[in-house]
Amino acid sequence: MAGKRNGKRTTITLKEVAELSGVHASTVSRALNPATRSMVMPAVVERILKAAKKLGYQPDPVAASLRTGRSSLVGILVPDIANTVFAPILSGATERLDEQGYSVIVSDVGNEQGRQIDLVAKLMARRVDGLILATVSRDDPLVAYCIERNLPAVLVNRAETQSRLSAVVSDDALGMQLAVDHLSELGHKRIAHLAGPTRHSTGFLRRRGFAQAMAANGFDAAAAPCEVADAFTREAGAVAMRRLLDTHRGITAIAAANDLLALGAYDVLHERGLSCPGAISIIGHNDMPLVDMVAPALTTIRISHREMGRQAADLLHQAIEQPDAPARNVVLPPKLIVRKSTAAPPSTK
Amino acid sequence: MAGKRNGKRTTITLKEVAELSGVHASTVSRALNPATRSMVMPAVVERILKAAKKLGYQPDPVAASLRTGRSSLVGILVPDIANTVFAPILSGATERLDEQGYSVIVSDVGNEQGRQIDLVAKLMARRVDGLILATVSRDDPLVAYCIERNLPAVLVNRAETQSRLSAVVSDDALGMQLAVDHLSELGHKRIAHLAGPTRHSTGFLRRRGFAQAMAANGFDAAAAPCEVADAFTREAGAVAMRRLLDTHRGITAIAAANDLLALGAYDVLHERGLSCPGAISIIGHNDMPLVDMVAPALTTIRISHREMGRQAADLLHQAIEQPDAPARNVVLPPKLIVRKSTAAPPSTK
DNA sequence: AGCGGCCTTGCAATCGATTGTTCCGCGGAA
DNA sequence: TTCCGCGGAACAATCGATTGCAAGGCCGCT
């Protein structure tokens, strides 16, 4: 019944290949597996390979998985597939994992924590070999959950505070430094930060990076205006931006923790009839698709999310192969992309 | 060995639940499956359920899959995960499939045809219960491949010429009609079409829809300027747009087959110092994220891709449950979204 | 010449759930 | 009272690949 989708076409099994080549199924198994191939005489191997090709044999991963406990499946947890930041990560990761022979089960988590653990439990039941997590907060119970169960996992984009698992992230401190340096060089004196949620490492580290960069540029970091958005969305960015403008005077430049927050800031400038970069310069973070098309084209810090996904795939592969190797952190360097949303501050009179 | 990730934690099997409740494993299996539960005495069912809960029993989908040939897995083939059009489709589909108890394997196809068939073969080996295809061209061998192998599949976004499989698409003819009507009402007389590749139903049907809509508005459809882009990308859109402007005079409005093509057209207007909508009005198709932020904000035809994904999931579920039911087509109505890229034509002198 | 060991292959158990078949015991009907 | 039937549960085969173990043959060494 299994493997038989209709009347005529039956899937061919190891045993059939064995019969055709006149050996036992176990020998076929060994001959087909590169790791055990050396146990079989070369001449026999060749005969078996020929028979397998002739029959069009395709191994059944389900049966193999049952026996071995491995599955060549990895799960990827993303907060939101449709988010233009996570899509390239997914894309890069699946590309590389595919090369390595894994198939990818994608889980869109939504936002509930409990659900996240449930999803992982379901993936474990499916015998996934490992997990790529793009969802974790700075201190996430999910990490402990995976470690306790010896499930290989790596983090991507967002890291956790303790580095218990391998992770690939952007250098958020450097990113903010590039941003602040750029604004400072343009002559800005009153630079504000539109921060992201601090439960995520990106929000937290970029905020800290902003403070450090301000200090490095000779500003009083503690006095620098800063508002925290509830989420990395355009709407939350707009809300925080309004607070920022309402409670602080004389801001001429804004370093946002994220492009969507920056776009939310754009919306508020529109509302209030302020020009960008005439009245206020804005710099984003991520360089997500199409931000070069908005008006004004957004100056931002580019992160190669696709590359991030690829590296995460590599790290996961290693974590699966060598479960006891120590966690490694890969930090990718971001890059300043200057467009039209930043300029010298309006001349003060 | 299998199911045992470390020393202490062993997964519990049916047999252990059976021992605890004093019955045979097969009885446990029947008691746990709602469909066969009636074969077991209610009192025994209750005892078994209690034991299962106590042990924290979780059925092994791999073993079940081996036996039954079903897997609760579905594959989704997309041309490009990172494409902002396909991401919401994926998102909507996974959301609904998750509710229905399926997990989703995502395959990013790239563009080679052969590779596509290989991927499907691999998915079939994994015993996927069905497929959602967002990749097919108007006449795609992949469709025949699935049908021959009795693999339930549905199409999304792009349809094929013969309706052999269920599909959910946008009403492309209506979309173009909305676009042309809008431009015509604004007073445009010389309306051009920036078409997409005609090997895809979207490119083909929108082009035909454009011609029909032009005729309906009293224009000579055959004489209307039209250039076909090689791909649904910004770059290809720019190339086609240059051809359009170089070979036709007096165009005042452009109906693009897709937002990315429209953005490519923006690029060309920039190059040539033409204003939009001052000199030329442009209308897109899809309403993908952020096109409200570009300058000028893009007037476009909105398609709810997320809803498309959801409906595709429903259709697939039906196709799996009733493999012999006839193919159904779901056509979603698109909607005109007026923004800033369309206006009355420049007054002719 | 005999024996130990290695190389190659076959045998059979195993992974865990599902399901066709068998078996048992009890109640009702002849 | 006996037999049939049936509900309910156990038994065992099965899905297909993997792998520890056993067996057989050949070679070399003493």
Domain count of chain B? 3
Q: Does the distance separating the beta carbons of A106 and B104 come in below 8 Å? A: yes
The predicted pLDDT at position A53 comes to 95
Specify which of B33-37, B109-113, B252-256 reaches the highest per-range mean pLDDT.
B252-256
Asked whether the predicted pLDDT for residue B337 surpasses 50, the reply is yes
Mutate to test the interface with A, among B10, B80, B106 (most CBs of A within 10 A): B106
- pLDDT value at A4 more than 90: no
Among A112-121, A137-146, A319-328, which is the least confidently predicted range?
A: A112-121
Percent of the residues in chain B that have a pLDDT greater than 90, as a whole number: 89
Distance from CA of A220 to the nearest CA of B (A): 34
B63 touches strand C (CB under 7 A): yes
Which tens digits make up the pLDDT trace of B37-64?
Answer: 999 999 999 999 999 999 999 999 999 9
Rounded to an integer, the average pLDDT of A326-340 is 97
> A107 to each of A81, A125, A131, B102, B128, how far by Cα in Å?
8, 14, 11, 11, 16
Say yes or no to pLDDT of B157 above 70. Answer: yes
Domain hosting A38: range is 14-59
Residue B4 has pLDDT above 60, yes or no: no
Residue A340 forms part of a structural domain: no
Are residue B24 and residue B117 in the same domain, yes or no? no
Does one domain contain both B82 and B227? no
Top-confidence residue, A84 or A301: A301
Give the separation between CA B164 and CA B137, rounded to whole angstroms. 13
Please report the pLDDT score of residue B159 as a whole number: 94
H/E segment holding residue B162: none
* Interchain CB contact of A107 with B (< 8 Å): yes
Task: Strand C: list positions under 7 Å from protein Cβ.
Answer: 7-12, 14-20
Is the pLDDT at B7 greater than 70? The verdict is: no
Give a yes or no: residue A64 inside a domain.
no
Kindly tell me if the per-residue pLDDT of B283 is higher than 50: yes
Answer yes or no: is B55 CB < 7 A from strand C. Answer: no
Work out the pLDDT band at B348, boundaries 50, 70, 90: low
Q: Would the pLDDT of A83 be above 50?
A: yes
- Please check whether residues A143 and A122 belong to one and the same domain: yes
- Answer whether residue A28 shows pLDDT above 90: yes
- Give tens-digit pLDDT for B245-265: 999 999 999 999 999 999 999
Q: Are residues A78 and A136 in the same domain?
A: yes
For B106-136, the DSSP string reads EEE--S-HHHHHHHHHHHHHTT-SEEEES--
pLDDT value at A114 more than 80: no
| In the predicted structure, residue B288 carries a pLDDT above the cut 60 | yes
The reply to whether A79 and A152 lie within a common domain is: yes
Mark whether B309 and B231 lie in a shared domain.
no
**Residues 111-170, chain B: which have Cβ within 8 Å of A?**
121-123, 125-127, 149-151
How much is the pLDDT for A253? 97
- Does A79 reside within a domain? yes
Interchain proximity B58–A150, CB inside 8 Å: no
Could you tell me whether strands A253-256 and A300-302 are parallel, antiparallel, or unpaired per DSSP bridges? unpaired
Residues in chain B with CB shorter than 8 Å from the CB of A126 are 61-62, 103
Q: What residues have CB less than 8 Å from A107, skipping those under 6 apart?
A: A75, A76, A77, A78, A119, A123, B94, B98, B103
- The reply to whether B275 Cβ lies less than 7 angstroms from strand D is no
pLDDT at B9: 44
* Residues B214 and B157 occupy one common structural domain: no
Same domain, B273 and B317: no
Model confidence pLDDT, tens digit, residues B294-318 = 989 999 999 999 999 999 999 999 9
Domain annotation covers residue B125 = yes
Average pLDDT, chain A: 92
Among protein residues, the one whose C-alpha sits closest to the C1' atom of C15 is: A67
Residue B198: exposure state from Cβ atoms within 10 A (0-12, 13-18, ≥19): middle
- CATH number (domain holding residue B294): 3.40.50.2300
CATH number at residue B50: 1.10.260
Model pLDDT, residue A115 = 83
Q: Which of residues 204-263 of B touch A (CB under 8 A)?
A: 263
Residues B37 and B103 in one domain: no
Q: How far apart are CA A308 and CA A326, in angstroms?
A: 20
Q: Are residues B126 and B271 in the same domain?
A: no
Dihedral sign (CA B133, B318, B143, B158): negative
Query: What does the pLDDT average to over B65-72?
Result: 94
The answer to whether B323 faces chain A, any CB pair under 8 Å, is no
In a domain, A164, yes or no: yes
Structure confidence at residue A93 (pLDDT): 96
User: Is there a single domain that holds both residue B289 and residue B231?
Assistant: yes
Q: Domain for residue B341, yes or no?
A: no
Structure-token match 């984009």, residue found = A157
The pLDDT value recorded for residue A315 is 97
Q: Are residues A318 and A220 in the same domain?
A: no
Residue A6, in any domain of the structure: no
pLDDT at A7 over 80: no
With respect to residue B7, please indicate whether it lies within any of the assigned structural domains. no
Residue B82 confidence class, pLDDT cut points 50, 70, 90: confident
- Poorest-pLDDT segment among A10-14, A84-88, A313-317, B282-286: A10-14
Position A111 scores a pLDDT of 64
Instruction: Confirm whether any atom of chain D, the nucleic acid strand, is less than 7 Å from CB of A161.
Output: no
Interface size A-B, in CB pairs within 8 Å, comes to: 154
